Amino acid sequence: MASRWPIEDAELDELDLDLRNVRILDAGSLDQSAIASYMVEAEDVLDLARDILRDGYLDNELPVVVDENARRVVLEGNRRVTALKAIRNPALLGASAARVERLLSRYPEAETPAAIRVMVAPSRDAARQLLARLHTGRPKKSWLREQQAIFYHAQLSPTVGLDELRTLYPGETANIASFIRMGEMREVIRGLRYEDRDLEAFVKTSQLKMTSFEYAYERPGIQEALGLEFGKDGRLKSKRLSKAQARGLIYLLERFKDGTLNTRSAGLKAKGIAHDQLVEQLRQVVNGKAGSPSGSSQRGSGVPPAAGPPGSGAPGNGSQTGGGSGAAAGSTSGQAGGAGGAASSRNPNRGDTRSRLDMEGFEYKGTSAGMRRRFEELSRIEVRDFPNAAYDLLRTILECAIKDHFAAKGQRLTGKMLNACLQELTRAYQGDQRMTSLINAVNRKGAMPADQYSGTSLALNSGNHEPDSFAGNREVHEAWERIKPILVEIVGK
């Protein structure tokens, strides 16, 4: 039984990331740095590193390790261990080392452990049942195509290119160039500026499948219309986009978001009238002669900021609102002979169109005058006019409500930040399945659909701490729906 496995202290230098955790290749062809570099992009390791530096390392969930070849291999908890190792030795992340250095400079007083507690499994076989339970009851799956693209693209550097990767991974020689192209396009579209927050969330979460978007950018006609040129090594010859190029990319991304383009669309077939019409429509958009499919005047120029890795210096989903001239307005519905199509309009009765939050079913029952005033402000704030102020207040209320709840029980959480408060709440309600589910939804990390991101601690902290992160009306309502039942339980009874 896992509950009887010994818990011991282990130096970070004694812990190895699990090579067998990666199912693309033979384990012998990988190294620790390659896995760590992959996890930077695929598993939000830098976001976790930032949380650890800001809030401290919490060991309520212990990594599971096994002793192999005089080393301790991490079977569960590779993400946490990678983040801790990167904090101690940024060079482990190769090209992303500078991003860790910037985080360290922001939190110079942070204390991070050189050793952590781990649970020691007697063998891999003994740990399999635990790992399967932790990962939805199924054996870990092979990496998806997009995950493989992230893995290979993350290893590119001035000294590592296509030839070097083919030498390192001979079993994937035929596919690596296409993986690099996908990695290049993923970096480009995540580096665009978006004024449409819904579109930004669609692109920067798992809602947009790069394996679907690949059907567009791999077509020579679409590449030509966008002015994109790939080298034989899979790299883009230039990632500095003009406003026109960015406008064209945003047009395509809007089409995928609206569902008027997908892998079955005739316009994305290699040949045919529909494809020719789509390419011509795209040229018109790039040249400023046609507008976005939804006819919005709020679309951003899409021109990225100064060149650099996407998300560098920005947390969470890498939110970047930006200026620049918007794409021309107007509907393309009915144009391009099946290549066009307008987005459906939003239902005016949806909750996220209300000017105020729905407070029905909640009443503050605590004794704190400060908390009572906060809830009064929250109930009166005009969310449509002041969405980010409301979002910021939601974060404050959630953190302070948890502190209020524990103070009533004689336990003070003075000085603790939101993440630490949530961890205390998790422990207090670990026997309550409903509350555990609600808290886990707020605690969720990593890639996720946009409607699951709002109201997470990651999103709330981003809105509070990061200059470029700005919440919209819809995000506030979604966050309130996620947080409200927790507040009802801890300060509403």
Query: What pLDDT score was predicted for residue 110?
Result: 86
pLDDT above 80 (res 44)? no
Query: What pLDDT score was predicted for residue 138?
Result: 45
Q: 330 versus 103: which is more confidently predicted?
A: 103
What does the alpha-carbon distance between residue 207 and residue 209 come to, in Å, rounded to a whole number?
Answer: 6
Query: What pLDDT score was predicted for residue 73?
Result: 92
Q: Read off the tokens for 378.
A: 């929250």
Closest CA to 243 of 304, 293, 195, 198: 304
- Give the confidence band of 417 by pLDDT, cuts at 50, 70, 90: very high
pLDDT above 80 (res 171)? no
Q: Span 181-187, mean pLDDT?
A: 93
| Structure confidence by residue, pLDDT tens digits, 131-142 | 655 553 444 445
| Structure confidence by residue, pLDDT tens digits, 305-321 | 433 333 333 333 333 33
Query: What pLDDT score was predicted for residue 41?
Result: 66
**Residue % of the chain over a pLDDT of 90:** 40
Kindly report the average pLDDT of the chain as a whole number. 80
Q: Span 215-243, mean pLDDT?
A: 94
Q: Span 282-293, mean pLDDT?
A: 78
**Residue % of the chain over a pLDDT of 70:** 79
Query: What pLDDT score was predicted for residue 165?
Result: 87
Q: Judging by DSSP bridges, how do beta strands 64-68 and 7-11 pair with one another?
A: unpaired
Closest CA to 492 of 364, 354, 377, 367: 364
**What is the strand order of the sheet 64-68 is part of?**
7-11, 115-121, 64-68, 71-76, 15-17
Query: What pLDDT score was predicted for residue 324?
Result: 35
Q: Span 147-165, mean pLDDT?
A: 85
Domain ranges of the chain: 2-143, 187-338, 351-491
Q: Are 189 and 249 in contact (CB under 8 A)?
A: yes
Query: What pLDDT score was predicted for residue 12?
Result: 93
Q: Which range has the top average pLDDT, 13-22, 32-41, 126-135, 190-199?
A: 190-199
Q: Are 153 and 167 in contact (CB under 8 A)?
A: no
Q: Read off the tokens for 61.
A: 């969930």
| Structure confidence by residue, pLDDT tens digits, 68-83 | 888 899 988 888 999 9
pLDDT above 50 (res 211)? yes
pTM for the whole thing? 0.43
Closest CA to 216 of 204, 207, 228: 228
Q: Which of 15-19, 219-223, 299-303 has the lowest mean pLDDT?
A: 299-303
What does the alpha-carbon distance between residue 382 and residue 402 come to, in Å, rounded to a whole number?
Answer: 25
- CA 280 to chain CA centroid, Å, is 34
What does the alpha-carbon distance between residue 104 and residue 84 come to, in Å, rounded to a whole number?
Answer: 12
- Give the confidence band of 427 by pLDDT, cuts at 50, 70, 90: very high
| Structure confidence by residue, pLDDT tens digits, 340-397 | 333 333 343 345 557 889 888 899 998 898 999 999 999 999 988 899 999 999 999 9
Partners of residue 67 on adjacent β-strands = 72
Q: Are 291 and 276 in contact (CB under 8 A)?
A: no
Query: What pLDDT score was predicted for residue 143?
Result: 63
- Give the confidence band of 170 by pLDDT, cuts at 50, 70, 90: confident
Q: Read off the tokens for 312.
A: 């560098």
| Structure confidence by residue, pLDDT tens digits, 92-151 | 888 788 888 999 999 988 888 899 999 999 988 787 666 655 553 444 445 678 878 887
